[in-house]
Amino acid sequence: MKVFANKFILALVLVVILPLAVLSAAFGQTIPLEEEGFSITPERIDFGVIRDMESVTRSLEIAGSSNVEWKIKWLPPWLTMDIQSGAADDSLQRIYVKADPHSLSYGSHTSEIIVASSTYSRKIPVYITMLQGDESVPHKVLEKIILSPPTVSAQVGTKILLRAEGLYSDGSRKDITKEIQWISDNKRVGYFVDKGLLAGKSTGNIQIFAKDGRIASASMNIHINPAGGPLLKVRMPKVKLDHMEKGATETFTINLRNAGKGELEWEAISETPWLLIGADSNYEGAGHRRLESAALSRLTGSGEKDIRIKVDVTGLSEGRYDGSIAVHSNGGDEEIGIPVNIISLESIRITPISTRMNVNERILFGATGIWSDGSRVDLSTGSEGRWVLSDRDRGYFLRRRPVFVASSSGQIEIKMVRGDISSNVAVIDIEDNQGGPVLMISPRELDLGTIGPGEGAKGILSLKNVGTAELLWSLYDMEGWNTGAENETENKTFLSGMAGRSGSRLYVSVESVAGDQSAQTGLFTVRVDIQTGNDSMHYDKLMSAGTYQEELKVYFNGEKRSAFLNFTIAEKNLRSCLDIEPLGIDFGIVDPDERLLKRIQLKNLGEKVLRWGAVLQGKMKTFRGMILEKGRYVSFSDDKKPSEDNRYNIPEHLGSTIRTSGEWTSNKGYPCGTGEDAILRYTFSGSGIALLLWKDVYGGSADVFVDDKIVGQIDCASEEGRKRIEFLAAENLDEDTPHTLTVAVRNGTVELEGARLYTSELMEGKRGWIAISPERGTTTNEVDFITVSVSPEKLSAGSYSENIIFYSEEGVEVVEVSLDVTGDNISEFIDIYRKIKGADIWLSPGDKENMEERGDSPLFKLFRRGTPGTTELFQWHSTSKASHFYSIDPSGGKRSLKGYVLDGSIGSIATLKLAGTRELYRWFNPETEAYFYTTDTKGEDCPKKGFLYDGIVGYVK
C-alpha cells in the first residue's frame, strides 16, 4: 500500500511541475475539421492538479487557409475565453482559456469545449483535478458492488430490472448499472437483453452477478417459474429524437398491455427531469395517480393502458442527453431508453435556385435545414416553415406541399422562412404556354406470350408527356372485366398520376389462376394486375383458351390514348419454364486490378425442352417489347459464413449505409426480420429506389418509409410458396441529398434481398468489361451454369451496372450486375481554367492551352463525376454570339439557347454549399447576349461593363 501511495504522490508532483511546453507537446496533436485547411490544436486541454484558490490559463490555436468561420458553442461555466468566434485564415489565431474553478468540488472533473464551423462541430475534452490546501486527493477506487433488489423471482417471458450500486474507497456511492458487465451462469434459463435487464427464457434456477474488472458482486439466485401469471409487454412507437430543436417539446404514447393471465399491476417511473409521464393526458380515476416533481414523474395503474410521454427540453443547452423510463409490474419490468440530441437551426437552403417554367406548370421545391451539429434535414413538407412569395399574382404553393404552381407570366422570388431564419432566394421566370400536353405510351402493344394454368407474364408500359403543359392521366375499368375483390375492399375505381418528361410506369401482370374450378368447364379465371407507384388495380375475367388483345384506355386532359395487351390462354401447362438464380449480382466495391467471376444457375421447370439464349443489354432500350432500364443493384446479402446464432451480419461495404434494430436472422445471407421491433434502415442517394424482397407461405407484413414518410405496406404472405417481388418505393427524388429507406416489420417474417437505385451517376463501361459464357443452350432436367466475368481494369472509378437478358420461347428474365470501382489514385477535383479568345470567354478543365489566359492558376475546381451532393455541369457554345453557357440542366434550364451547341459535361458542381465550397455566379449582358462566370462576389467589374446579375450556377471548390 505504501508503494502505491508513494507512486501516486510522485505522479501528482510530476503533473504539477511539468512544464507547460511538455504538456503542449504531449497533447499537441491537431484535430482537422471536416473542412479543407482548418485545424485546432491541441486535441484536449489538461489543467492538471490545482488548489482550490488557484486559476490557470491554457491556450487553443486555430489555423486555416479557407476563411472558414467558427464559434464556441459550449463552454463550462468555470471556464472563460478571451475570444469566442472568428474566421480561420492564413494566420495562426490563439485563444486563451482560463480555468477559475472555485465552485468545483474536490477531486477529478471532466468537461468539454465545443467549437463549431459552418457545417461541423468538434468537442475538445477538458480535464482538471482540485486539491484542498496542501492535502492530496485520495485515489478513488471501486471496492464493492451491491445488487438490488436482493431477492428476485420471475416467470418465463418476463424481464427483471436490476440495479447495481458501486461503493468507492472515498466513501462515495454511485449507480453503475450501465457501466459494468452482467453475467448469467445459464443463458438457456435466463439471459441479459441489456445491462441490468434480465429475461426469463425457461424454467429453472440461475445465478447472476455483476463485475467491473476484478471487483465482482455477490451472486444472486433467481428462480424462473413457468409462464402462467401476468406478462408485461411495452410497445414503443417509432420516435426519433436525434434532431430535437432547442426549447422544443415532443409528445408520444407508449402502450402497456398484459400478454399473460391474471390482472396486471404496473408502475411507470421517470427520474429524468425532462421526461414527464402522463403529461397532457387525463389520468384521473380509480387505480391511477400521477406525481410530478423536479426529478420524478410516476404513474401507477392496472391492465392495458396508453401512457402519454412528454419530452420537454426547455432550458437545456445543445448536446446529447440520455433519459429513460422504467416500468415495474407483477408481470415483469421494462426499461425504455429515450436519448435526445438537442440542436438549433442555423440556415436554410432551397432548390432550385433559378429556373424557367410555363404557366400552369408545377415545380417541386426542396428546403434543407442546416443544424448546429452539421446535420441536414428536409424541411420541404414541414409545418414549421412558410414559403414567402414576392408576388402572389404569379403563383402559389399547394397546401401542405412544397409544390409551386405558376399562374401568370413574369418573374417571382421565393424563399422559406422559419422563425427568424430565412433561406436563400430562388428566382423563377414564368412564361406563357406555347402548347398543350401530349401523352405517349410505349410500347403501344405489350406482347405477353402464352399463359397456361398457374402461369403468368409481366411487362411495363411507359407514360411520357412530350408536350409543354401539365399532364394528368387516369386509367379506369377495362371493358368487360370485373374489378377484383381487393379493389372493392379498398374502394378503388381508377388509377391516376402525373406524367412528365421522365415518364411514369405502369407495371402490368397477367395470370391464369392456378387450380380454378371453372377450368373444368373450359373457362379460366384470368387476372390482370396494374400497378403504379404505391397504388394498384386488379381485374378478373372468365376466358376460354385462345388468343386475345385487350385494350387499356388512358385518359388525359380530356383526350384518350390506348395500349393493348396481347396474350394467349392455353388449356395445359406444357411449355418450358426458365428459372434463373440469382436475379442480381452485386460485386460491391472492387479494386481495378481484381478479376471477378460469378456463376448463374439456369433450370427448366417445364416439361418441354428449353432453348435459351443470353445477351448483354448494352445500349438497348427494349427487348421483345419489354422496356429495359438500368439501376444500381444493391444486395443486402452477407457472403460470409453465418454465425452460430444465425444472426444477420451487415456486409462490410454496406456498414455505413445499413442499420438494424430488433431481431434480424440470416437466410442464405439475406436479412429476415421477425417481430414488430425489427427495423432496417438503408441510406442511399438517387432519384428513386425499388425494394426487392420475397413472399412466402409464412411471410408477414411490413411498412415501408422513405425519408421517414410512409410510402406503402407490403404483404409478404403467398399461398403459392416463395417468389420474388419488387416494390417501387420512391421516384423523382433529389439526387443531391441523401435519403433513407426504412422497412419496419409489422408481423411475421419479412425477408429482404436488396434494392435497386435509380441514379444518373451510373457510368458506361468500355466494350468488353463484362462477358458471359455460354451465351445459349438447351436444357431439360439438368442444371446449366453461366459464368459472368468482369474486368475492372478497363473501368474508370465510379459505379457500373449491366443487365444480362435470358430469353426463351416462353419468357424473359433479367439478371442485374453492379459494382463500384475504386480510384484512389485519381484526384477528386478537376482544375478549371478561364480561357479567353477575342470576345469569347469560357471555362476549360485540365491543362492550359496555347492561348491568352487571365492568370496562370486555376479559377476554381469542379468535382469528379459521382461525388455525393454534386451533379454534372454542362457547357454550350455559340460561335455567332462568341459566348459560352453553363447549366446543371442538360436542357439548358429553359433558357433561350438558340444558336448554341451542346458540348457536354466539363465536371460536377455542388448543388448545395458543401464544406469548403463557394458560389459560382453567372452574369449576362443583354446587349451582346454574352455570359460571364466568376466566383467573385462583386462580379469582377461586370456591372460597369453592362452585365446583369443572373444567379448562382452552383458551388465550387
d(C-alpha 355, C-alpha 419), whole Å: 27
Q: Which residue has the higher pLDDT, 92 or 382?
A: 92
Closest CA to 182 of 159, 204, 202, 203: 159
Residue 80 in grid coordinates:
472563460
The residues pairing with 440 across neighbouring beta strands, listed in sequence order, are 464
d(C-alpha 245, C-alpha 371), whole Å: 9
d(C-alpha 801, C-alpha 821), whole Å: 11
Q: Which residue has the higher pLDDT, 808 or 413?
A: 413
Residue 43 pLDDT more than 80?
Answer: yes
**Which position has the grid cell 404553393?**
397
Averaged pLDDT, 246-251: 86
Residue 88 pLDDT more than 80?
Answer: no
> What's the pLDDT tens digit per position in 384-409?
688 999 998 999 987 767 788 888 88
Residue 4: predicted pLDDT? 41
User: 798-801: long-range contacts at Cβ-Cβ below 8 A with a sequence spacing of 24 or more?
Assistant: 798/761, 798/763, 798/823, 798/865, 798/866, 799/632, 799/759, 799/761, 799/762, 799/763, 799/866, 800/762, 800/763, 800/765, 800/769, 801/630, 801/631, 801/632, 801/633, 801/762
Closest CA to 346 of 317, 321, 377: 377
Residue 182: predicted pLDDT? 93
Residue 702: predicted pLDDT? 86
**Conformational region of residue 66, where left means phi above 0, alpha means psi within -120 to 50, and beta covers everything else:** alpha
pLDDT-based confidence at 294, cuts 50/70/90? very low
- Of the listed ranges 124-138, 332-346, 601-615, 811-825, the least confidently predicted one is 124-138
> What's the pLDDT tens digit per position in 837-859?
888 899 988 644 333 444 457 89
d(C-alpha 141, C-alpha 146), whole Å: 15
The residues pairing with 712 across neighbouring beta strands, listed in sequence order, are 704
293's CB contacts (< 8 A; 6+ apart) are none
The residues pairing with 623 across neighbouring beta strands, listed in sequence order, are 626
Residue 292: predicted pLDDT? 38
Residue 643: predicted pLDDT? 64
d(C-alpha 843, C-alpha 182), whole Å: 65
162-166, 371-375, 899-903: which is most confident: 162-166
Q: Are 50 and 129 in contact (CB under 8 A)?
A: yes
Q: Which residue has the higher pLDDT, 143 or 50?
A: 143
Residue 898 pLDDT more than 90?
Answer: no
Tell me how far the alpha carbon of residue 504 is from its chain's centroid. 24
Q: Are 225 and 325 in contact (CB under 8 A)?
A: no
Residue 489: predicted pLDDT? 43
Question: CA 804, 809, 812, 813: dihedral to nearest 10 degrees?
Answer: -70
Residue 710: predicted pLDDT? 75
Averaged pLDDT, 320-335: 88
> What's the pLDDT tens digit per position in 489-543?
444 567 888 776 556 778 888 988 876 555 567 788 999 988 876 577 889 999 9
User: What backbone torsions phi and psi does residue 8 show, to the nearest 5 degrees?
Assistant: -65, -45
Averaged pLDDT, 93-113: 78
Buried b (16+ CB within 10 A) or exposed e, 815-848: bbbbbbbebeeeeebbbbbbbeeeeebbbbbeee
d(C-alpha 636, C-alpha 659), whole Å: 11
Residue type, position 302, single letter: S
For residue 877, give Cα distances in angstroms to 847, 898, 933: 20, 10, 14
Residue 413 pLDDT more than 90?
Answer: yes
571-585, 698-712, 874-888: which is most confident: 874-888
Residue 222 in grid coordinates:
433467481
Averaged pLDDT, 280-296: 40
Residue 933 pLDDT more than 90?
Answer: yes
pLDDT-based confidence at 754, cuts 50/70/90? very high
Largest CA distance in the chain: 105
d(C-alpha 57, C-alpha 612), whole Å: 80
d(C-alpha 141, C-alpha 169), whole Å: 5
- Give the count of beta carbons closer than 10 Å to the beta carbon of residue 110: 10
Q: Which residue has the higher pLDDT, 362 or 468?
A: 362
Pairing of the two strands 749-758 and 632-635: antiparallel
pTM of the model: 0.37
Residue 847: predicted pLDDT? 44
Give the whole-number percent of the chain exceeding pLDDT 70: 83
Residue 957: predicted pLDDT? 87
> What's the pLDDT tens digit per position in 178-202?
889 999 999 899 999 888 899 998 9
Closest CA to 744 of 711, 705, 706, 718: 705
Q: In 249-385, which ranges are E strands? A: 249-258, 265-270, 275-277, 289-292, 297-302, 305-312, 319-329, 332-343, 345-351, 354-358, 362-364, 366-371, 376-378
What DSSP designation does 717 have?
B
**Conformational region of residue 731, where left means phi above 0, alpha means psi within -120 to 50, and beta covers everything else:** beta
d(C-alpha 327, C-alpha 337), whole Å: 11
Q: Which residue has the higher pLDDT, 810 or 885?
A: 885
Averaged pLDDT, 290-312: 75
Q: According to the 3-state scheme, what is the secondary structure of 1-69?
A: CHHHHHHHHHHHHHHHHCCHHHHHHHCCCCEECCCCCEEEECCCEEEEEEECCCCEEEEEEEEECCCEE
Closest CA to 772 of 597, 612, 631: 597
d(C-alpha 410, C-alpha 767), whole Å: 49
Residue 385: predicted pLDDT? 82
Q: Which residue has the higher pLDDT, 897 or 914?
A: 897
Q: Which residue has the higher pLDDT, 133 or 414?
A: 414
26's CB contacts (< 8 A; 6+ apart) are none
Give the whole-number percent of the chain exceeding pLDDT 90: 10
> What is the overall mean pLDDT for the chain?
79
The residues pairing with 268 across neighbouring beta strands, listed in sequence order, are 299, 327
- Of the listed ranges 16-30, 333-347, 785-799, 813-827, the least confidently predicted one is 16-30
- Give the count of beta carbons closer than 10 Å to the beta carbon of residue 85: 12
DSSP track, 229-258: S--EEEE------TTEETT-EEEEEEEEEE
> What's the pLDDT tens digit per position in 550-594?
999 888 887 888 889 989 898 876 556 778 888 888 888 887 777
Q: Which residue has the higher pLDDT, 118 or 170?
A: 170
User: What backbone torsions phi and psi does residue 176 show, to the nearest 5 degrees?
Assistant: -120, 25
**Which position has the grid cell 441479459?**
192
User: 831-840: long-range contacts at Cβ-Cβ below 8 A with a sequence spacing of 24 or more?
Assistant: 831/858, 831/861, 832/858, 832/859, 832/860, 832/861, 832/862, 832/906, 832/907, 832/956, 833/858, 833/859, 834/859, 838/882, 839/882, 839/928, 839/930, 840/877, 840/882, 840/883, 840/884
Residue 7: predicted pLDDT? 40
pLDDT-based confidence at 443, cuts 50/70/90? confident
653's CB contacts (< 8 A; 6+ apart) are 588, 589
pLDDT-based confidence at 696, cuts 50/70/90? confident
User: What backbone torsions phi and psi does residue 24 show, to the nearest 5 degrees?
Assistant: -65, -40
Averaged pLDDT, 301-314: 89
